[in-house]
Amino acid sequence: MSHSQPRSVVLGTGSELPSKVLTNSALEQLVDTSDEWITVRTGIKVRRILEDGKGSADMAYHASLRAMEDAGVEARDLQAIIVGTVTPDYPFPSSACVLEHMLGARDVFSFDVNAACSGFLNALAVADAFIRTGKIRSALVVGSDALSRLLNWQDRATCILFGDGAGAVVLGASEDDGRGVLSTRLRTDGSYAKTLYVPAGGSLKPASIQSVQRNEHTITMNGKEVFKVAVRSMEEISREALSDAGVSIDQVSLVIPHQANRRIITALADRLGLPLEKVVVNVDKYGNTSAASVPVALDEARRQGRIQPGDIVLLNAFGAGFAWGAAVIRF
Ligand code: COA
């Protein structure tokens, strides 16, 4: 039983949502939309917006402090910090390095992963791999994004969908056979790169007066295409992760899907044959918070007592790249 390969167990979770609330009715003042359209098509009612003068590392910091307090872990105990984000404070250095300094962590390695809305799942899979190989025994895994910074507030097809936030998980190594991350699966398909992307601000099209005037630093998306592939891909990868873990769908206590759109979540639950009571939905309150969405929902579910010891939880996400992933965790 003991002395087997270590597994990553969730020692604590935390989240941070900015206090500024943006309602659907406020969006009615900005673009030609309605509370009814947004509610029916997406399930979103309000979202949070990071205040000016702050970057996503600030949200990551507060989420991390809560996760570390929950875990009973100090900054000096952390051996790795991995942040999923596409909205770091700077093009470089990484958000993880900024966060590491804010936390006062030492003797640690830190880096970001860029997998858009799947960023937390990718960060989790990487941290889990380091822990399984015995390289490290603790890691802080964060998803933090401020997509409000990448929105065109004149584009009604995108500006209504997104919000800001951060979620964090402290992982520790454990030789207790039963608990922990049972499986992770990641996938990408770069042929969809331009189905959901930000055209400028990278090395191909650096910032210029023209790029700003053309709004090329904001999210460009074919929503219908994203919707279709998201449902199919999240179902498929969830089934693969469950199969890797040797777990059947009816053994799953709770699913924590990426919170992009209520209709995507219900379509996914339907395809997986799961009742909605077993699926966490908070997209109504926060919109799509990108890499933050899964760890924020996980933290809320834990704090609401929806996850008990022994429960098997399925996480999944899908986003730009396209990049998607799933993980199965026994608590
Ligand atoms: N308010 C009112 N009308 C809107 C609107 C808005 N905010 N946004 C689009 N519309 C209009 C469109 O212009 C279109 O009008 P038309 O029929 O006159 O051309 C109509 O509503 C239908 O648009 P369509 O894009 O077909 O709607 P949809 O049912 O596909 O819903 C999304 C649009 C974006 C909500 C949906 O496609 C979606 O959620 N996709 C996934 C996006 C996503 O999650 N991206 C991030 C993934 S990580």
Does the annotation count 258 as an active-site position? yes
Q: Round the average pLDDT of the chain to a whole number and report it.
A: 97
Of ligand 1's atoms, which has the minimum distance to the CA of residue 162? 46
Per-residue confidence (pLDDT) for residue 176, from 0 to 100: 84
Take atom 1 of ligand 1 and give the residue whose Cα is closest. 33
Secondary structure of residue 324 in the 3-state scheme: strand
Catalytic residue among 24, 62, 97, 117: 117
Alpha carbon 173 to its chain centroid, in Å, reads 22
Q: Is 170 left (phi over 0), alpha (psi -120 to 50) or beta?
A: beta
Residues 240-256: tens digit of each pLDDT? 999 999 999 999 999 99
Of ligand 1's atoms, which has the minimum distance to the CA of residue 318? 48
> Could you tell me where the beta strands, DSSP code E, fall in 147-212?
164-174, 180-188, 196-197
Take atom 7 of ligand 1 and give the residue whose Cα is closest. 156
Residues 261-282: tens digit of each pLDDT? 999 999 999 999 999 999 999 9
pLDDT band for position 1 (50/70/90)? very low
Taking CA atoms, 307 is separated from 8, 75, 133, 310, in Å, by 17, 26, 27, 9
Where does residue 216 rank: exposed (0-12), middle (13-18), buried (19+ CB within 10 A)? Answer: middle
Give residue 217 CA to ligand 1 midpoint distance, Å: 20
Residues 15-43: tens digit of each pLDDT? 999 999 999 999 999 999 999 999 999 99
Q: What are phi and psi of 53, to 5 degrees?
A: 90, -5
Domains and CATH numbers, the chain: 7-177 (3.40.47.10), 181-330 (3.40.47.10)
Q: Is the CB of 156 under 6 A from ligand 1?
A: yes
Of ligand 1's atoms, which has the minimum distance to the CA of residue 41? 35
